[in-house]
Amino acid sequence: MTKFDYSTLLKEAKAKLPEIKQTTERFEIPKVTGHVQGNKTIIVNFSKICTVLRREPSQVIKYLQRELATPASADGQRLVLGRKITSSVINEKIAKYAKEFVLCKECGKPDTKILREERISSLKCLACGAKHPIKAK
C-alpha cells in the first residue's frame, strides 16, 4: 500500500479543476439579433438593448439614423432600418453610443442620465456624481 501525502493530492486535484471564468462586468450590451428582409434590416431585440442602455428608444434611433445614414422606424419591439446593414456594424455603432452617451467618463459605470440645462446636454453619473457635457452632433 502506497502512502499519499495530503498536500500532494490537493495539488493534483487543483490542477484538474477547470478554470473559473468570472466577469465582474455587470453592464453588457446584448448583441443585435435580426435579419434582412428585402432591402430592410430588422433588429428584433431593439427594445431589450434600449432597456439595458437605460435610454429612450427614440434617442437611440436618432443616433443610429445619423451614424448609419439610413432611415429607421420603431415597429413595436423591433427596429426597421431602411437598408441592408451587417449586425457587426450595428453592434459597433451601439457600443459607440454606449461609450458616448451611457458610460461615465470618470468611473466607467452605466448609472448615468442625460440632463438638459438650457441648450447644453450633460451626462450625470449617479454612482460617482461626475458631470460631463455631451458633444452635440
Q: Kindly report, residue by residue over 62-97, the tens digit of the pLDDT.
A: 999 999 999 999 988 999 999 999 999 999 999 999
Q: List phi, psi (to 5°) of 50.
A: -65, -35
Reduce the DSSP state of residue 99 to 3 states and report it. Answer: helix
Predicted TM-score (pTM) of the model is 0.76
Rounded CA separation 60/32 (Å): 13
Four-way CATH pick for 30-102: 3.90.870.10, 2.60.120.260, 3.40.1160.10, 3.30.70.3150: 3.30.70.3150
Q: Kindly report, residue by residue over 9-55, the tens digit of the pLDDT.
A: 888 888 887 776 655 456 788 899 999 999 999 999 999 999 999 99
**What residue ranges do the domains of the chain occupy?**
30-102, 103-137
